[in-house]
Structures are given as C-alpha cells and as structure tokens.
Chain A
Amino acid sequence: MAEEKQTGRWGMVIDLDVCTGCNACVTACAMENNIPWVGEEDAGYGRGMHWIRVQRYWEGEYPEVSPHYQPVMCQQCGRAPCEPVCPVFATVHSEEQQINLQVYNRCIGTRYCANNCPYIARSFNWFDYSQQIPTPMNYYLNPNVTVRRRGVMEKCTFCVQRIYEGQERAKAEGRVVQDGEIVPACAQACPTDAIIFGDLSDPESRVSKAARNQRRYTLLEELGTEPKVTYLKGEGTYGG
C-alpha cells in the first residue's frame, strides 16, 4: 500500500547541544527492551549490554574541563557492515522499515558482526543473563520484546515493536502514521527532547527538518555506512 511505503525510512536526530548526559535514555532502553543486567563483575570487565550508551569525553585540562556527551546506539546503517559478514543471515535489513534487525533465533554467535560494526553498537549475551533475574523482577520484562538467550548477539532495533504497534494502530484506524506518533523509549524518556525520531522519507516531518539543520553530522561519515542517525552540534557551546 502506498501509505505503508511512505512510512519507510525511520531515522533519528540527536541534538548534542541540549543533551545533558543524564542517561535517562539508557535506563528507558534497558526497561523497554528487556536488556539484562550482567552483574557487577562482568559489567566492570566491560560486558555491559546497553543498546544505547552515553559516551563521555572531556575537553581541556583540569580544572578547566568541559564535558561532552554523546548518546550512541546502532546507527541503523543504510549499508551496514555488520550484515554481509554474518554466515547465517542473522543480521538482516528489514525491507519495510529500512532498518537493520537481528534475528535472535538464527544467530549462532560468531560475533563477526560486532567486530565489523565501526560504532561498537552490538552487545553479546556471554551468559544466560536473562535466566538470572530474581523472581519478582521478571515481571518487569516487556512482553512485546523477545528475551534473548545465551550466545546470541543483540542491538538497538529503533524499538521496532513500537514501530509495528504504531503502524498497526494507524492501519486499523484507516489512516497514515502521524509524525511523532511513534516514539522509541530513549526519545520518550529524554527530558530535554534531545532525541527526535520519525520518518525521514517525509520531508516535512520534524526529524527530516532537524536532519537538514546546518549543525548536522553523522558518525564516522568517511566509512560510507549511511547511518540513519544524525547528530547536531554547534561550535563553541558548552554541554553536548
């Protein structure tokens, strides 16, 4: 259908000038997507599994330092380097949403995709973390999202379950998806509205307009991965 085609290119803009580095997106993402916590020891060793992380960099010498925050998740590359290297087609492009999806059932855990992702956006289930959730806590799990088992790769999906839900709702009500109707968990949680999500194929959507902002850049542009996430950053401003 024509309308469905229209809602094709989901994208995101992150305004670093208003990001305060509060990590609300990280928390919201973990709750929405059933991201297990890995325990103190493994987290300390560098096995935290967040699909989105706030990279923190410092500029200047102490005490004249200014922090820079940069939320980074899977950039949903248009030409994703993670895809061709998977021997079993576990990481694939979805035709409809134009995003990169991980098929957990198919993944055999070669971890090649994670090596080839220049953004280090992928997380691996080293152990059966999801089995270690103490009993009452398992009620927090989101029924719309698969709980991953040990030995598979996972990563940000742009909250594909929410995209589906929005599309289905609009279809049931016989209309097209409105701009701003579908919001991933990170964008919803962001107190400063630094994360804008929407349809890039609609030139009038908020995200398209923001993506044309002159402060725009994409991460590691030189690699030609054509990311769907755009960052905004002005010169000489503090924060962000």
Chain B
Amino acid sequence: MAVEAKSLSTPLHGMDAEEAELREQLMFDPRPREELNRMVMESMVHTTPRYWAVVAFLAVVVLVCLFGAWGYMIATGIGLAGVRKPVYWGVFIVTFVFWIGISHAGTFVSAILRVFKAEFRRPFTRAAELMTTFGLAAGALYPLIHLGRVWVFYWMIPYPNARWLWPNFRSPLVWDFLAITTYLLSSTIYLYLPLIPDLAMARDRTQGWRHAIYKTLALGWRGTEAEWARLRKAITIFAFAIIPVMFSVHTIVSWDFAVSQTAVWNSTIFGPYFIVGAILSGVSAVVTILVILRATLKNMDYFIRMEHLDALGKLLLVFSMAWAYFFFNDYLVSWYGGYEAVRRVLFFHSSGPDSWIWWSMIIFNVLIPWLTLWNRRIRRTPWAMLIITLLINVGMYFERYTIVPMTLAHQRFPFDWGNYVPRIEIIISIGTLALFILLYMLASRLIPMVPVWEVREGQEAHMIRQIGKAKVPTVSELE
C-alpha cells in the first residue's frame, strides 16, 4: 500500500489541536541548533543575587556543620555522636547508605534508560549523572567520619607497606571501599564522556577564564565524524559496563548488613532489596532536582517538561511497588522463620518508642506514591511531584534508620537492649546535605546542565509525519 508521508518537523503556522498536543513534547518541538546552544549557555552564565546568597549560606553551613563539627569530633572523640552499646552504628551509617542510594540515580537514568533507548531521558541525563558523582562524594565521607581513629583510615587501603600487612579481604568494609572507589571513578568518566561535545560547544562561545577551562576539558574536540563514532562507542561501552558496577555497589553495601549475624540483618534478600530502594530514592531525587532546576535555572522550562515528570512518575510508581514487594518479602520470611530474636526486633520496629519512624516509612514509600502517582494530573504538577518525591526520600531515609540503629537496639539478650539518640550526627548530616546542594549549584553554572547534542540528536530523529489525514509521531533508528 502506498502511503504518502510528509514530514512536519518544522513548526508550521496554524497547527491544529492534534499537532499542538504532539508539540508539547520536547522531541517534537525542535528549535534550531544555534538557539539550543544559546539557551544552554545563557542558563550557565545567568546568576542572580539570590543565587549567590544561597551559595554563600550553603558554604557557611558546610564549613560549620561539616568541617567544623567533624573537626571538633576528631579532636574530642566519636563519643560526641549518640552511638552507644549495643547500637554501634547510627545516623552516620544511615546517611552513608542514603547517599550511596541517591548515587544510583544517575546510572539508572542515564545508563539503563540509554541502553533501553528510553527517549524521555535525553534532556536530564546530565542532571542525574551529576547526582551520582556528588552523592558519592557526600556518601564516601561517612566511612571516614564514623571511624574511631580517622587519622589512620589508610590502613583499609591495600598498599605495600613496611608492616607487610594487607587489609582483611574477607571484611565487607574492604569490599565497600573497593566498590565505592570503582563506582566513583567509573561514574565520573561516564559523566565526562557525553560532556565533551557540550564542553566544546561552551568553549566556542565563551571568553576569559571559562574559555580556558573548557578548552582544557574539551580535549580539542572538533566534532568530526570519526570523533563522534568513537565517542558513541565509548559511551555505549561505558553504559553497559557501569550497570553491573551500579548493581554491585549497593549490593555490597547491603552485604555489610546481610553477611553479619545480627538478627534481621542476616537476610538473603538484602541485595536486591537495597538496590530497588536505592533506585526508588535516586529517581525521586532526580525528580526533585528537575522540578527545582526547572523553576530556578534559566530556559529550563523548555528542556524539562511535564512529559518528563510524567514518565519519571510512572517509573517511581513501579519502583515503589517493587520496593514494597521486596520489603514484604523480607519481612514476611524473617517473621515466619519464627526465630525469637528476629521476631522481637520486628516487633520493636513497629511498636517500640521509635515506631513512628517505621510507620512513616510505610506511609511515605508505599501509601503516598500509590495513592497519588497513578494520576496523570498529579504526575504533571511540579509542586505535587516535588512534595511526593521529597517524602519518598524521607521515607527511604527512615528505612535505613529502621535497618541500622533500630535493629541494633534490640540484640539477642534483653539485658543489652538500649535505645539510640542521635547527637552530633544530625549536624554533620545536615553539613553533607549542604555540601551536595552546594556542589550541585556550583556545577549548574559551570557545566552545561542539558546535554545539548543529545537533545538535538533526539529531535533530529523524531518527526511528525502526515499520513493521509492523521498526524503520526515517528522516530527513526539512530545507531
């Protein structure tokens, strides 16, 4: 059958309603390449006094709450934290797991969605990848912060030394150390690769110190066909390679708990359960940041659209369900095992003095997403998504709090039971939160937040065609 197809890629005057609806999607609303470049450049150099005020405030918070309080703790003793017998791990480890969880966002959104060719990912892969790098930077501090003697932390590193001592490779903490450094390294490279063409774009459009930085970072990118081919290949290899790394990181973090013999920690399902939780909290954080970027960064309302929140909202709903499934699975089998110590811990979670944390976790991670995210209108309302995703992350934080101190508080001998009250941990955790936001804000003015070439590439491939009377969105195969 012969079909007469006509491309409608360039917006025409007098679109009809059907076409206007299609044009609401970024991919079907192309703009000339130069304009895209200009918009992104503008967003990078545009700052307001309010921006600087926030940056200054965050810098002070980081100095005082993170480095000040941490320095004070190093000088005085880890006893400033609230940890006590038998709760030897507290909020430091909770926050550590939380940040490592957040860091799954970038890889998931960028690598997995790239491999599966999910087109909606295009404008915000970079925003997500940045979260990976900065989340890891914030999280990787905690294994140091929580040490009793941080000044000898390097004994955990395998290096040839005069004592002929290696670290204990049987210890999950050494696995952690190796996994996190691997992930930090590979995710930074993975952030950097797709950045090169954008850096070159920025290099050609700036002067002064910016030009100097971009010139170095762009590695002399000229955009020849051969360069593109190599870049594509490198990105593809990394996208595939980084997925197992991502899975390994949170699995290993979960093994910190699962290989121990503390009741309730000793669970075989912790690996996948932690990963699903990490992706849930990571993707939520991506949505939070997208909403904020859209409201604060110039020209972002063109790139980040309701369709993206919509798609991520659906993903969140799926992951919230998956999380609930794993949680239930873990809980039920532990409970059904009938081991007295395990049952007592589970009972303590949901009815002890801190049970509000456990219940909030259920409400924030399951109830709220399930009640709201099925609704298209809510998924497309930025402020609602902001609140929902923030709550999900609070819920995920509570999940880790339940797993770490609330489980340790109820060990096998009732004689040892003891409750945990965080002290300086709270201040230091606020410090790392400020560090994360600060790094993110600075980065938003230093590197292009939107991968222009990826958006452009997507827009080239997508077209609205007229087939007979109908307007049909099509996408041509890229690779």
Contacts and interface: CB of A to CB of B under 8 A. Distances in A.
B353 interface: no
Nearest to B260: A116
Interface string B413-457: 111101000000000000000000000000000000000000000
Interface in B389-427: 408, 411-416, 418
B68 interface: no
A110 B412 CA distance: 21
B170 A84 contact: yes
A56 B174 contact: no
Interface stretch (A122-130, A183-191, A207-215): A122-130
Interface stretch (B98-106, B145-153, B372-380): B145-153
A110 B173 contact: yes
Contact of B171 (A47, A56, A84, A106): A84
B77 A150 contact: yes
A150 to B, nearest CB: 5
A72 B5 CA distance: 84
Given A55-B415, A87-B167, A151 B78 contact: yes
B148 A150 contact: yes
B76 interface: yes
A110 B152 CA distance: 11
B149 A152 contact: yes
A57 B41 CA distance: 71
Contact of B168 (A55, A88, A109, A120): A88
B85 A124 contact: yes
A120 B165 contact: no
Contacts of A125: 77, 148
B171 A86 contact: yes
A146 to B, nearest CB: 15
Contacts of A220: 412
Contact of A108 (B83, B149, B259, B262): B149
Contacts of B79: 42, 47, 126-127
B259 to A, nearest CB: 8
Contacts of A128: 77
A115 B148 contact: no
Contact of B173 (A56, A87, A118, A124): A87
A63 to B, nearest CB: 22
Nearest to B82: A45
B272 interface: no
Q: How large is the interface on B (under 10, 10 to 19, 20 to 34, 35 or more residues)?
A: 35 or more
B325 interface: no
Interface hub of B76, B165, B177, B261 (most chain A Cβ within 10 A): B261
A18 interface: no
Given A125-B148, A223-B261, A119 B413 contact: yes
Contact of B153 (A45, A57, A108): A108
A26 to B, nearest CB: 13
B412 A115 contact: no
A238 interface: no
A81 B415 CA distance: 20
Majority DSSP secondary structure for residues of B touching A: loop
A126 B82 CA distance: 10
A108 B155 contact: yes
Interface string B126-147: 0000000000000000000011
A88 B155 contact: yes
B156 interface: yes
A109 B147 contact: yes
Contacts of B415: 53, 55-57, 72
A141 interface: no
B217 to A, nearest CB: 36
Contacts of B85: 46-48, 114, 120, 123-124
Nearest to B411: A120
B156 A108 contact: yes
Given A109-B148, A111-B148, A120-B416, A126 B171 contact: no
A106 B78 CA distance: 17
B473 interface: no
B84 interface: yes
A160 interface: no
Given A72-B413, A84-B170, A87-B177, 10 more contacts: A85-B173, A87-B167, A88-B165, A88-B167, A89-B168, A111-B148, A115-B262, A126-B77, A150-B78, A223-B261
Interface of B: 76-79, 83-86, 88-89, 146-150, 152-153, 155-156, 165, 167-168, 170-174, 177, 256, 259-262, 408, 411-416, 418
Interface of A: 42, 45-48, 53, 55-57, 72, 81, 84-89, 106-112, 114-116, 118-120, 123-128, 150-153, 220, 223
21 contacts: A57-B415, A72-B415, A81-B261, A85-B173, A85-B259, A88-B167, A89-B167, A107-B148, A108-B147, A108-B150, A108-B155, A109-B78, A114-B88, A118-B412, A124-B78, A126-B83, A127-B76, A150-B148, A152-B148, A153-B148, A220-B412
